[in-house]
Amino acid sequence: MAIRPIIRFPNLLLTRKAETITRFDPALEALATDLLDTMRAAPGVGITAPHIGVLERVTVIELDRDSGARTFVNPEVVWHSDQTTTHTEGSVSMPGILEEVERPNAVRIRYQTLGGETVEEEADGFMAICLQHEIDQLDGIFWTQRLSRLKRDRAIKKFEKLTREQARS
């Protein structure tokens, strides 16, 4: 439907907790479609409503076009494994910056569909990483907060430099 502008780090909207969705209507479906279009244009594999300035608990994840996009409304992690994995992460709100983040390698989540049905399912590997990353964002936790202070400071300085260079071009 529409590609929306993405909120850029360090916008404080990225640190606010998103509101629970209670209305499952055409407006929610339109928001999910806009999120998908915006994520594909970014490009990215996951995006939340807060990334486009809408403080509502919805995320769209598409690991690849063949498997298709999935929309998660009001998602929450209800269990996570004790085993962890390290994976390279970044954000559509901080393009060009990637860093290794350690997270549980499996999760069980509870969420609602666009129609309001409550679902619980487990995920592991890359999908588990993406779900945790996007749910963190919905909880107001920007991904750099999962880094050590040294790595976070380095990532922020690198992004500031990239932003300055892009502004000059």
Cα 84-86-88 angle, rounded to 5 deg: 150
Q: How far apart are the C-alpha atoms of 54 and 141, rounded to whole Å?
A: 15
Q: Do 142 and 15 meet the contact criterion of CB atoms below 8 Å apart?
A: yes
In the three-class reduction of DSSP (H, G, I as helix; E, B as strand; rest coil), residue 161 is classed as helix
Contacts 24+ apart (CB under 8 A), 114-118: 114/24, 114/28, 114/29, 114/32, 114/71, 114/73, 115/24, 116/24, 116/73
Catalytic positions, written as ranges = 134
Q: How far apart are the C-alpha atoms of 60 and 133, rounded to whole Å?
A: 12
